[in-house]
Structure 1
Amino acid sequence: MATRVSYPLEVKMKAIEMRLAGIPVKEVMDQLNIRNRSQVKAWMKWYRSGELNRLEQPVGKQYSYGKGPEYATELEKVKAENRFLKQQVDLPKKVQGNGKEVSPKIVVEWIESVREEVSVTQAYAWIGVTRATYYRWKAALASKGEDPIVGKISELCREHKFRYGYRKITALLRREHKVNHKRVQRIMQCEGTQCRVRVKKRKPTGQPSYIAEHLLKREFKADAPMQKLVTDITYLPFGGRMLYLSSILDLFNGEVVAYSIADKQDTAFVLETLHQLPSLPGTILHSDQGSVYTSQAYQEAIKGKGITMSMSRKGTPADNAPIESFHSTLKSETFYLEDLTCTTTAIVVQTVRDYITYYNSIRIQTKLNNLSPVHFRQLAA
């Protein structure tokens, strides 16, 4: 039997952020060294349903909605309950009511369309039908014969010589029928009518990459300012468009010494952050193995400042824990605390700028003898 892998909370949250930013599951798995696609889907489902407590539970100790450990705070519990009630209210009118008022065909089709988002048990509970009723309806519909949609899908696939994938087949079907793309994909997989066009193999493009050694080795303490720095990029999916924050943290006092906010995470973005630093001969700057950090342009800029580069091992966010922790704290103490998860782009930018100023100059830290990072640095000087 295969060994079950338990992923730390920071890996799960990083995967959720990347999926919210539209990054494909395959790329998320490669970057974070995740074995199974279904794990990413499960984390996304828990995140969307408000079951954040499940992300912190160990392997073999997962619980369904309403069971298992209590929520971390009363606020989380109330939010989860409100979300559950809202989902009940927002269901299409045609499937609401009790078992005597709804159409079996509509109920079965709707539940099948949301199976990847919620459990079947939760879905038929929202509609107000029992487990036995749902499966009786499903069996009765199956016994009536083949779904006409199946035949129509097969016909379209043969007509276009299997050049189309499920997205284009769905687009053609929607000219005459209302159908969910996930259902079309599922049918095409079962019938073996997927697109047969061979995927083109592309050679890697762009500048040659450079992978540095893991010099920091999780030694997150420094004896002097600007001796050891860590950097990373995090997603800010809270405004009208996706934004990214690139920041550099000094391990001596936890001060954010440089940061940039942009709507594109390219090499120019991280270079803008790096250029805020002076020349620092002998300083170690640690990052992950992201393409922006391994690019030739970034490496040349690093050498120009006399900095020595260090990089985390692949799929090991804990190697860069201080900056990951800072980004998590920033979001927890602003966007999540103040319920700013859906606001304007301008408010997102201002919130981040105000918080970094507060974090550096006002917010005390226990490890700094209850001083702020700036105050601690000034006393050390």
Structure 2
Amino acid sequence: MESCSLVDTATATLCSTAGGRRRARSGTRFLNCSSSSKEHGVSASCSIGRMLSGAKSAARRKLFRSEPDWLGLDWSDTSGAAGHHWWTTLENNFVLEASEDEYGGVVVDADRLPSDQAAFAGSLAASLSYWKSVGKKGVWLKLPVDRSEFVPIAVKEGFKYHHAEESYLMLTYWIPDEPSLLPANASHQVGVGGFVINDQMEVLVVQEKYRGSPMDGVWKLPTGFILASEEIFTGAIREVKEETGVDTEFVDVVAFRHAHNVAFQKSDLFFICMLRPVSSQIKIIDETEIQAAKWMPLEEFVKQPFIQEDHMFQKIMDICIQRLRKCYCGLTAHDVVSKFDGRASTLYYNVDEPEDVNCSAA
């Protein structure tokens, strides 16, 4: 009968041998266990060499520190049954709960994270070693707000920030010793503007509460950002409703602008949608941003110095006017499903026939 000891890193640490295994209580510094591998006639060989070869932190080295002469086992050999037993034990007892993605990576289950920092640190170190040993590539770690104390631990292990939302922070880790192939964070924000014109050739316009901006006193089209999972045209309809109270229906996308380094180094896509009014009464809903709203004659609107002096806005209005004269066709929305991913999408494209109703004046 021989004995061994493992250092516990404040989590439940496992002492595993060919003859048996026992779990220590959390907080125990040393765990002693005994085994009779010779008595059972087991020629055991197992290794933690692969773990240690990938160790990047003191916590990981501490967790898997070993004595080479334990029980007379050859810890450099990973081919034996005991080696398989060790890795199975590691996976079952230390590795964070995660699912595999289709690109050879893992997505950690945010709902089944350890409850305290010490347990998380130990499990994260063990998990990275295990995932590396089985050839995994990218790791996605989502930390909810109520687990924000885990962020420094993950960063010290080499995780990088990917993106954040109100309720969580997403971090990533690329295991292979090569450039990361994980997709970057979203690179664009998407805005919309609604060009709404009635039968009297009046444009629906608003004044925003800029206070001191060059836009003070300027009448402009209703604009805003689309929401998550919102279509471009429904976003335009919603923004017009919020800023003016007028109900509209989508006709087509007449143009879009692409700009870079607009906000926090993100790029910006801005879509101009032609909308047909189905009501006319103005009632401002978003009073925090909108100073006033009204129907304004098209000729008066385009003669504003701001539009006359800005090449982009002048070009947008030229396109809208050509659209009204049936000299230009915008992009209409069509529901499609692709076999590539089986998901419903909206495809925007120009109509094939000039006489198509979608290409007639609003």
Category of TM-score, reference length = shorter chain: under 0.3
Q: Which has the higher contact order (CA 8 A, sep 6+)?
A: 1
**Greater fraction helix:** 1
More strand by share: 2
TM-score w.r.t. structure 1 length? Answer: 0.22
TM norm structure 2: 0.23
